Amino acid sequence: MARRRGADAAMMGRTIFIDPGRCIGCQACVSACRECDSHRGKSMIHLDYTDPGQSVASLPTVCMHCEDPVAPCAEVCPADAILVTADGVVQQADTTRCIGCANCVNACPFGVPKIDLQAKLQMKCNLCYDRTAYGLAPMCATVCPTGALFYGTLEELQAERPGVQVADSFAFGDVVVSTGVAMVVPADKVQWPVPGGLPVVEVNGVDVR
């Protein structure tokens, strides 16, 4: 059974909402991510193309900050290198502890963590924690020209985009993963496969399976 957030939009805190329908593949988010102080020169966000060769449709891929189960990447790390903060942000691996084993890469249901083969370190989005911890939006959401990456509360998103629906629970076979980052889904389709074939199972707090 998918975890319910409830009908009250205010229950969802400030987070990133990904709206694939607004992404134009400009890679402004990728360029901005490279400027973050915690990993300057390397981008922790990348674009996935939903049907290469057939369509230009793209999807910005950031860490979904899994909440239930809590951070599979951290659970399988043998070096305890991945910290989950009290507010649910799954941090990038601690460079003093990471051994580059790639367990986290294999455990992530969304395929987010990457291994820097030269540095032998895990690299991934940490929700620009050096910014969001002080109330600032992540770099990617700050520069996105179309709002494909929106940072705020669900209430703020719905006020700006009336009727918008979001999902934060995704099914992988019999396993449902609930996330801190949410995905905007088309208003006329409650069953919408996220690129990669992941069926949404919860929309605006309602189980739609």
Domain ranges of the chain: 9-207
The owner of tokens 């985009």 is: 161
**Residue type at position 6:** G
pTM value is 0.81
Q: Which overall architecture, per CATH, does domain 9-207 show?
A: 2-Layer Sandwich (3.30)
Q: Which one is predicted more confidently, 91 or 36?
A: 91
Q: Is the pLDDT of residue 106 over 90?
A: yes
Percent of residues, the chain, with pLDDT higher than 70? 83
The 10 Å CB-count burial string (b at 16+, else e) for 148-180 is: bbbbbbbebbbeebeebbbbbbbbeeeebbbbb
What is the CB neighbour count within 10 angstroms for residue 4? 13
